[in-house]
Chain A
Amino acid sequence: MAVLVETRPAETPAIRRADRPYWRRNLPTTLLLYVVLVLGSAAFVYPFLWMIATSLRSLAGVGSAGASIWPDEFLWDNYTRAITSFPFWRYTLNSVLTTVIPIVGTVFSCALAGFAFARLRVRFSGVIFAVVLATMLLPGEVTMVPQFMLFNNLGMIDTLYPLVLPAFFGSPFYIFLFRQFFARMPGELADAAVVDGCGWFRMFLLVYLPLARPAVVAVSILLFMGYWNNFLGPAIYINSDQWKTLPLALAGFQSVNGTDTPLLMATSVLITLPCLAIFFLAQKQITNGITFTGGR
């Protein structure tokens, strides 16, 4: 007791000092950090705000406003024009179809394979998993031309099928993610289910997949960003107006109406909107998802 009383007074100030949050310990550095943070934020968010401001201007207003991000005009009409001047809803439907269906396909096939690699250790499963990892390195461009010929043979050129079907056959990166996730889940679950006379597939569907919800959500969000903005695929397979997706339509729009800035910006904002909405709805899941995609 006496020893404790003796040592404490010497340590307390130091502990208190360290317990205080960083910004109170070191005020000048904190101020400097805030200056950097504010300046950096301005640089990062400026083009973004400029895009929104420009989308609300008239064509003449763009020339005179220059770098200003103050939207002194509010021409909501630009958005109406963006929706009506080309088959916007048709392209949106195509974009939704080529985003939602591949997400479902990829999540299901990859979760299934990931589960098999994590929980069903059999002969050769290690070798095959190594093959899965190796295919991550193969650039899609090597198989681009023959895949085009394959879909050409099936008569699927200028349809949405080539953008949708391959997703149902798994993708190495997401198989890897799901495998990591399932490998971390307790094996007792499987034992319990086997005792109850459950088959492997039912066990996967009813026990493991519902528990993998965080992984499913995170992977779906990542896939959404990828498929929604996909450009190379539609650029290869889609020729006719009817099947264009939004990015492809915007690219064509850029080359035709390249001078109508407000219209282009309004369309860009509209295309970005779903990504923004998902970000604000699922901020936490995105951060979680990125945490376990970050390697290690």
Chain B
Amino acid sequence: MNPTIGWIRQLAESWGVPGVLVPLVPFLVLLAVLYAVIGLAAYGAKRKWPRADKTIAFWLFISPWLIGFLVFTVGPMLSSVYVSLTSWDLITPPKYVGIANYTEAFQDPRVAQAIKVTLLYALISVPLQTALAFLVALLMNVDLPGIRLFRTIWYLPSLVSGVAQIVLFLWVFNPQYGLANDLLGKAGIEGPGWFNDASWALPTVILMSLWTVGGAMVIYLAGLKDVPSNLYEAAALDGAGVVRLFWHITLPQLSPIILFNVLTGIIGALQIFTQGFIANGGPKDSLLFFVYYLYDNAFQNFRMGYASALAWILFVIIMALTAVTLRGSAFAVYYETELGGRRRPRLRKG
């Protein structure tokens, strides 16, 4: 523990602050000092340039984010670079080892396995989810009586998420008592071992992820409602059929939303953790997702340096996949600038 922080804590304890609140005191003191400095600076600035109140207000308003950015993002990022070059178990002081962590990571067969499993998951589940969500949204966009009830039913599973969802599906796919194998058995098929079978575990997780496709469906549905109907009317007058309407109007109009969902989907899929944790990495490391392996190294084996190196490798993978997706999408995504004589405000970068 930092000596200054320890001193503040001792002071708080001697003043009779309740034990639960003691850790908060150093934090609040640091924050108070920080804001005192900011407040003084703002006061001084206001005295000196009385007409700059807008500028001062802007900096004050973003100061929570700015401080958080420095304390929880920039600072940790810089120290993460350093930690990744050390060997550190949190107890003994960190020892500088150069790029040894990275060379170890490139030779570690479990890292290779983790990258393989995670990439496979992302590259299979994201397109599947996107396609399914989009098709379902198209289906739900038809104006039928009772369609709102169907929308609710298909969305409902998305509310069972995280640990509860995995616990449920561990039982749905239980080889002996589970729902899936019982149904398959009635159809005369002997079901696989699902989570217990090394070659089936990953497909099972992908299948499970399709269950919560409702969340993305609602986003596409909102997008479909936003497509101006005069486009369809004009094209239909020109003799376009259903397929061409879909291909030349629906798809281009929704392409920015699809891109947004694919991007967030890829980033989310590469950070999958809970499934691997609950399954303990799965049989024969078949569910050894990258973040789970990172967590395992950092908080089970206390290899902070190695875990930091892994985090940077993950960062590079995410950046690379994002860049590839953005490059690949450049010709496929249509950003409208003008529509029906009415200019839409574009997202301004400033």
Contact = CB atoms under 8 A, between A and B. Distances in A.
Contact of A137 (B136, B152, B156, B267): B267
Interface string B1-36: 110011001000000000010111011000000000
A200 B6 CA distance: 39
Contact of A153 (B5, B69, B147, B219): B5
Contacts of A152: 1, 90
B267 A139 contact: yes
A281 interface: no
A225 B72 contact: no
B64 A109 contact: yes
B124 interface: no
Interface of B is mostly: helix
A161 interface: yes
A232 B312 CA distance: 18
Contact of A47 (B6, B211, B218, B274): B211
B304 A126 contact: no
B139 A33 contact: yes
Contacts of B6: 155
B146 to A, nearest CB: 9
Interface string A15-44: 000000111000000100110110011001
Contacts of A54: 171
A120 B56 CA distance: 10
B267 to A, nearest CB: 7
A135 B73 contact: yes
A275 B159 contact: yes
Interface in B79-95: 79-80, 83, 90
Nearest to B30: A154
Interface stretch (B104-112, B196-204, B244-252, B290-298): B290-298
Interface stretch (A5-13, A71-79, A209-217, A247-255): A247-255
A45 B157 contact: yes
Contacts, number: 301
Interface of A: 21-23, 30, 33-34, 36-37, 40-41, 44-48, 50-51, 54, 62-63, 66-67, 109-110, 112-113, 115-117, 120, 122-123, 125-132, 135, 137-150, 152-156, 159, 161, 165-166, 168-170, 175, 199-201, 204, 225, 229-232, 235-236, 247-248, 250-251, 254, 261, 264-265, 268, 271-272, 275-276, 279, 283, 286-287, 290-291, 293-296
Given A229-B162, A294-B223, 7 more contacts: A66-B182, A139-B315, A140-B271, A147-B72, A152-B90, A268-B168, A271-B163
27 contacts: A37-B150, A45-B153, A45-B156, A48-B160, A66-B177, A113-B64, A113-B65, A126-B350, A129-B350, A131-B69, A139-B318, A141-B314, A142-B311, A144-B294, A145-B307, A149-B79, A165-B27, A166-B72, A200-B54, A229-B161, A231-B274, A236-B295, A251-B277, A279-B156, A287-B222, A294-B222, A296-B257
Interface of B: 1-2, 5-6, 9, 20, 22-24, 26-27, 53-55, 57-58, 60-62, 64-65, 67-69, 71-73, 75-77, 79-80, 83, 90, 136, 139, 142-145, 147, 150, 152-157, 159-164, 167-172, 176-177, 179, 182-183, 186, 211, 214-215, 218-220, 222-223, 226, 256-257, 259-261, 267, 270-271, 273-274, 277-278, 291, 294-295, 298-299, 304, 307-308, 311-312, 314-315, 318-319, 322, 349-350
